[in-house]
A and B are shown apart, each in its own frame.
Chain A
Amino acid sequence: DAGVTQSPTHLIKTRGQHVTLRCSPISGHKSVSWYQQVLGQGPQFIFQYYEKEERGRGNFPDRFSARQFPNYSSELNVNALLLGDSALYLCASSPGQGKGETQYFGPGTRLLVL
């Protein structure tokens, strides 16, 4: 069975640009969460979606947005990129609403902003 997949694996952008990251959850999983992980730190929660609705939002600026599609895949969008947005972006899926459930992570997208 395929796990969580993310694309692209690596990305280089310049300041001020926009980026879209994509995630496909494990088959049958309905909840998707996004995390940002800066080197040396744990993952920081950005968003959680369940059944196409945003269920949780972390302390990130409005430049960050996301959505979930009917097939439960998800996109994370970041506008007006800053150098500090350079990080590993992780997507995680869980079977139900995500309330306290185990999350399974994808391989991540490594974003470098120059």
Chain B
Amino acid sequence: QKEVEQNSGPLSVPEGAIASLNCTYSDRGSQSFFWYRQYSGKSPELIMFIYSNGDKEDGRFTAQLNKASQYVSLLIRDSQPSDSATYLCAVWADGGFKTIFGAGTRLFVKA
């Protein structure tokens, strides 16, 4: 079992719709969770981080964390074509000095 799993996609949504991206992780000791966006040929850029169970909203983005079920999700409201990118879920577990990334989910927003 991979430590951080994401559906590779591609996930295709029409402009203005809600895009839902999901991520599961295997280490129950995980404490910090991050979503990065990566455009083709570019480096990852941070979208959001979440540490506590529940929802965290920032503009059009909402991160959701459920530690009991070991999943974290990212909702993108009013999706725009500029949101088309690969979204990387990253998890940091206590006891180690490394952040583990999933393989990413490719999102396409159709105009």
CA distance A106 to B42 in the complex (A): 9
Q: Is the CB of A45 within 8 A of B98?
A: yes
Give CA–CA (A43, B32) in the complex, Å.
17
Q: Which of B49-67 contact A (CB under 8 A)?
A: 49, 51
Interface SS, A side: loop
Number of A positions contacting B (CB below 8 A): 27
B103 and A42 contacting across the interface, CB-CB below 8 Å: yes
CA distance A25 to B97 in the complex (A): 17
CB-CB under 8 A for A56 and B98, given A41-B103, A43-B44, A106-B43: yes
Q: Are A100 and B42 in contact (CB under 8 A)?
A: no
A-B pair count, CB < 8 Å, reads 58
Q: Is B88 an interface residue (CB 8 A)?
A: yes
Contact, CB under 8 Å: A102 / B98: no
The docked-state distance in angstroms from the alpha carbon of A43 to that of B86 is 12
Min C-beta distance of B1 to chain A, whole Å: 16
Interface residues on B, range: 20 to 34
Q: Which residue of B lies closest to A49 (CB)?
A: B97
Does B34 lie at the interface of the complex (its beta carbon under 8 Å from any beta carbon of A)? yes
The distance in angstroms between the C-alpha atoms of A107 and B98, with both chains bound, is: 20
Name A44's contact: one of B46, B51, B92, B101 (CB within 8 Å): B101
Bound together, the chains give a CA A98 to CA B96 distance in angstroms of: 10
Taking a contact as CB atoms under 8 Å apart, the answer to whether A33 and B99 are in contact is yes
- In B80-103, the 8 Å CB interface with A consists of 88, 90, 92, 94, 96-103
Name the residue of chain A whose CB is nearest to the CB of B88.
A42
Which of chain A's residues have a CB closer than 8 A to the CB of B36? 105
Quick check: is A76 within 8 A (CB to CB) of the other chain? Answer: no
- Residues on B lying within 8 angstroms of A by beta carbon are 4, 31-32, 34, 36, 42-46, 49, 51, 88, 90, 92, 94, 96-104
